[in-house]
Structure 1
């Protein structure tokens, strides 16, 4: 028979009717603060989870009061991602909560079964958790104990967060009564470890640790002692997931770093801002990594988060589907005391109680011996506050660090905003805690990073871009222009002359050649010679006119063009055309003194039409005169009259 079965048979609560309403059917889980049972709400006829605080907490009236207050606060959270609190009460000093019963498992069990999650799976559970925290934070409830055990995974719907407010009630009592702090140390925020103060950003830190574990299969600094882990949370940044799983992309490293920043002011201000970061990271994940997960064997998950806080661990239960209730039941009213395991005479319970007492005493002894040493060497007492660094002259910062006994090293870097010789940044940052033996890294400005502009004239766009990139500059705007000298696709000019010095973030604009500009030959018909020449030369072409006689086209007008209208030429090419000289004219031959027939032949040979006038009957047949007179310029075909005597 298993211990669980033995416990169920001897547990005095099994079969009882609590508060005249909740019939306890079986035990579900037991932790350091409470035991969870499955019960049947006989009034509403539904299964519920009944969480009963351990008897030792009932001794503190302070806890009982805080428990009631936190239970009321948790009940105000209404969200599908939060396990609902239905009822609460106290039986003989032992507080109990009645909660929603979830059909499913929790993240711890899933991690044990799978070893690690894929990135989409881990981001989905992270988003579900942050959605629940956003609803809680809006009503002023801080969880304080986010860890895989407290994230329930139903068979359908989003993951659900449980145990809101319980960690605070327990930790406040523990801090006031024993000086110890409850909460799982693997997920604890630095400010809780040092001051026990928490706000919404403390929950976000724990979500970041949980995301790291879901991706890598282990919590940061696993295997070290609780004190060492607490010290790491306070003094060290959470390692990058890619440090152990190199395939994890930088976007996930940046997301984990943002959620787990040691300084709360550097984390997302609230769950909404954290959800935005997760959404952006999810969108940037390459498709080929969607199904990949860390190569962690499921067996390696055993005890992965069993590292506890400075004293003990807050219990968190996973609620699964209820089993049938035992056939024998007993009714108990809230006014009647509940029998304790001691009264039932359970030997197993005595042994377990003795073991727990021994463990607590041992832990207290170790804490007492090492507490002072830890405080001064690794704890809050070992930390100083960094002086202001950013923007201050290096000499002033060095003086302050020297006075505090802090070692430091200096590295130069360019800065667009900080003057030369002043500190641009430091690690740790100014105003943040720094261990007294830490080596502070200072970065001092060398001024603006100036680059020499290379010559990219005549290069192609790709070659120009590479040349500029090699020089530390970027290619800027690209425009196109025609060029008679630079071949198509090559750089004609650049916005900054080569050899000049410009800031590193200056973009160099370039003009690329489109080659020679195509020019279309216009129509010259009907133009005068001057107008035709002006039109041609206005396009950058060369006019090449010739002249010809024309009986139909007026002198000085274009008769025809040899370079056809619409032809495509380039600058400097010639356009051939013909300009009219008007009708062709010839001189009237001198035919005076010639005989009639001879004179007619000469005139007709010159292209004239001959008419005759006879005096005295033209007896002698000799030409006495011509009209027009010899030498007169006439166009061919004109009439010349000769007088015959």
Structure 2
């Protein structure tokens, strides 16, 4: 069934102007339709973005900006953009319409393409990219799907700026970008940055595919292909297609160098190398396919050679000497050089679109185009990473005098602020100070303190002075006041020593008969954890031991007495080291926190005990 019959856009008039006649193609990002411009009575190609992209406001804004930049690019090998607009939830571009095939279609039909014809396809592509680079535009998605071969033999490049809009949106998925990954430069994979040399890299991959019929890297997933772009070097095409001339091997390897600085500086530089390689093919073969050369101050183009009708019977074929061919190639190169000189003499420059590029790369690109550049004061931005260009002054697309200073404003990243001092403030005052600093309080945690009065802030988390992202949250730790330390279970002398070190009186001791070992603190008043004043006396109740013998074998002669072993004295050691030492000696260990330090302040029992007895440690 013809899917165009069920496409709801067929028969619809977009924006009251473009009557959709049929669907030409459908891709991961958009569908392309043949439409009639009812105002100008001409056929156009309309690219309509898929709804998932059209619903992303960030994509729509970037898409409109890129469309404006591309619309100003005029070159015979670039599909010209006429218009951009929205119709309900449809976001579209209207462009020149050319019957023909994509380079991908040609590769599917023919496989590898002879060296001469491959060059005659690539030269117009490079001419288009070179013109874009001169205007401050980067394609970012050079691949066979974006190269059209028209029915009358012309080569056209499409989709300038669309990849940039996609990458800036929330819609970048492997399902959309798989076709791009096969042509993605190492720096795009590792750092997400692209300048004109990323287009050169992609053009080198396309040339490799034309010569061999295959992409250089194959993988089970997009990530495996991306990995190979970063870690492997593109092989010479002649390894797969032995008939490939050395000059084309050299051109591919130069364009696909992993380090951007080792590639041609831009597409115009690669164009010159491609023309030279084409001239070398003509010289070695003794044949020549005449290129179409326009006036020197215009863009130089070479059209691919297609099978021509045979000469009429009896017609005399004229041969041209090799010097004529060489001279013609020289004219081409002179034309390119003159074109660059001519445009460099213009009194005005067009501001390139540098937004979303790394500030250093943006500065290099602007200076290369002839601008005087000033790096303005960076501006905080919560959504754009540090050192990425936010805007330029003048804005992109404007025509300015040649001596105009271009100011680049980059992101300083998210704004950070220091955590303010809140110690000894009330909870209410601390919350106010945190708020004034541009932060919020996420929660309040209480802790005992013998130095900070109850209800006042002890500390914050993160700590005072630490720089955190503006708007982030802080935890306040508030004093619960002085809480009675829990010394139950300690031996009397150890408990008294500990309380004395904290400044508490130790003379309030009551002794009672109890089943606990003699000298063990069995109770205290106030109880451990209870609120108290600094002058409160802690009274301990201490066991004097049971009325009957403590050990069961002392009470019952039928029970055999175990072997007694010495308990290592681990007081004042690191609590973790102490635990390990006792466990290694065969004891069961229980740890209790009384002050929370790292050192053991008490242990019970001490002396000699049966093997396997539980030892309690306090820290």
TM-score, reference length from structure 1: 0.43
Which of the two has higher C-alpha Rg?
Answer: 1
TM-score, reference length from structure 2: 0.44
Structure number with greater CO (CA < 8 Å, separation at least 6) is 1
